[in-house]
Amino acid sequence: MTSFTKPAVTVGQQLAILEQRGLSVRQPERAKCFLEVVSFFRLSIYMRPFQVPGNDDHLFKSGIEFKQIVDLYAFDRELRLLIIDAIERVEVAVRASLNNHMSCKYQSDTAHSGSHWYLNRHLFKRDYDHQRLIGDLKEKQTKEASQLRRDIDKINSSHATAEIKRQRIAQRAKENYARFYQKNYHTPVLMPGWAMTEELTMGSLSHIYQGLIKDADRKAIARRFDTPHEVLASWLHTLNFVRNCCAHHSRLWNRELSVQPKIPRGELWKLPERLTGSQIQPQRRIYVVLLLLAHLMRQVSPDSQWHNRVKELIASHSAIPLFPMGFPEDWQSHIFWSGADA
């Protein structure tokens, strides 16, 4: 290990470094403006495909322009927005389907059996951390109750009229369901399942689905998405990983998935093991995520044009190579992209 010695440099100096490395910058002022809002460090990962492989000085290949790097960055940004849009739709649908099935199936003559189905430890596998789920929800409600008390104290100490204070307190109490439930109900202590599922992170949603003890329950929920239950469980894990990449503005374009989804059986899901002339495996690249999202969007929103938006994005950035994303050469002929009925 050695000491870090790189000094901080101005945006102008950053641009000079790029030019010294052989990058063509036709509009220096525009390039400076771009580097002022997108850091050199963030942009550097998009420079690598345009640089001489294995060169320690990070020299650019002949004829590379700054605009090409910006175009790749812009494409990746638009790709993230397109993917997070689909993941949001799928995530919301899974939340609804999970609770719709579990609450109605386990509704009995016992009070709260359906509305608070998730309190029943016996509905989950032994290795599912049920106590963590309960603890997280208790913490959420406790925090909101404390915040509501602080809000009420602040409102009561103001110089507003009694009626205005009453209105403001009522409004604060309804800002979220955790506050509302805590203020209005005492049994059960925790909120009902339809509110609980909305409080889960996508990672927790993935784990609660996988944690259901009965195959029949997981199958029933997965049937809504025309997907085998073990495949849906895998997809939720993968989509949680991809969602986190999108949320942190991380690169997707040529990323290799660290959480690989299961591939269903059948002709629709046959992918080449590797792309011709490369070591790239489509099932480990973002193409397979686009494919599974195209399938899920058909189930969540049959009239959605999301698949066409994917094609439009690619067409509008025709210079961006698709093979680092795992796209097969004949990808547009796949039924999910053609718009035909699957």
Collect all residues with Cβ–Cβ distance below 8 Å to 69 and sequence separation of at least 6: 23, 43, 46, 47, 50
119 vs 112: CA distance, rounded Å:
9
Supply the pLDDT for residue 75: 97
Note the Cα 150 to chain centre separation in Å. 33
332 vs 44: CA distance, rounded Å:
31
Supply the pLDDT for residue 278: 86
- Write down the H helix ranges in the chain: 11-20, 28-37, 40-47, 66-105, 130-156, 162-173, 177-184, 193-199, 202-211, 215-223, 229-247, 286-300, 306-316, 335-338
- Neighbour-count burial of 159, counting CB atoms closer than 10 A to its CB (0-12 exposed, 13-18 middle, 19+ buried): exposed
137 vs 141: CA distance, rounded Å:
6
Supply the pLDDT for residue 235: 98
Supply the pLDDT for residue 340: 55
186 vs 206: CA distance, rounded Å:
29
Residue ranges per structural domain of the chain: 11-64, 80-116+202-342, 124-191
For residue 272, the 8-state DSSP code is: -
pTM of the model: 0.90
Apex CA 28: angle with CA 23 and CA 33, to 5°? Answer: 115
Supply the pLDDT for residue 253: 93
Collect all residues with Cβ–Cβ distance below 8 Å to 40 and sequence separation of at least 6: 14
337 vs 300: CA distance, rounded Å:
16
Note the Cα 189 to chain centre separation in Å. 31
306 vs 326: CA distance, rounded Å:
19
39 vs 333: CA distance, rounded Å:
39
Pseudo-torsion of CA 37, 40, 44, 45, nearest 10°?
A: -40
For residue 55, the 8-state DSSP code is: -
Supply the pLDDT for residue 339: 65
Supply the pLDDT for residue 341: 54
Segments in the chain below pLDDT 50: none
What tokens does 262 get?
């299961």
Supply the pLDDT for residue 224: 96
Place of tokens 């913490």: 139
